Chain A
């Protein structure tokens, strides 16, 4: 089955840029979505379709995807961005939905 690999953790200082990667075989040919999850809460979608944001999600969050890596970029990081982040896609070959392993973002 299709595997999505994320770094377990990313640390970033306030005001800097956090980049969270999501690795998968030829992931650039697929549509990747990103979710933010804070402790004790359900996940919330922050980027979909590779780069669009739902209403209410700041422009500081953006997505890109090429080759074997998709990336969620959080610019001008704030303390409130501290959370777990997951990538997700639909694997057409299996008709399964796949989540990445998750990345904990810590704001220093």
Chain B
């Protein structure tokens, strides 16, 4: 089984400041890793994912996350946030490779509030 720990439940940040959301996972097998974002009153949207290859993955709106196998982490970063980045962010994991498991295991979420 897999599990995800998001170390920060709330992250307040000023506009144009950097932000880092921490995610650690536990798994006995290889994994695929995801970050989802949930804007107020909207559904979950996939932000970025790591499947294989380069350990640094990027989204179209400036977020990046780095897979660190030795640290079992997949932290999310953005060098300069906007008011519109205010949302809840969920880290998720699923078994990778040839696994038949399709279930996503989510962390508890991190609420990012960007202030002017």
A binds B: no
- Tell me the A residues contacting B by CB distance below 8 Å: none
